[in-house]
Amino acid sequence: MLMTEWNWDDAFAVQREEGREEGLERGREEGKEEIARNALAKGASLEFVREITGLDIDTVTRLSQE
């Protein structure tokens, strides 16, 4: 099971800076990218990561090269 750590201070800072909806969307995308990085680090295929995160294949490929 893949787990990510949530940092409330960062979440509230984003909310104050960008507004609630924009902050929530940014947090969701960052969460997806973190899950993708974790899955790739464990050897998951690009296609599998794309399917479980909903990220486009270009983003998944970029994350695999970081």
Average pLDDT over residues 17-26: 74
Inform me whether the pLDDT recorded for 44 exceeds 80: yes
How confident is residue 22, by pLDDT bands cut at 50, 70 and 90?
confident
Is residue 43 left, alpha or beta, with left meaning phi > 0 and alpha meaning psi from -120 to 50? Answer: left
Q: How far apart are CA 60 and CA 40, in angstroms?
A: 9
pTM flag (> 0.85): no
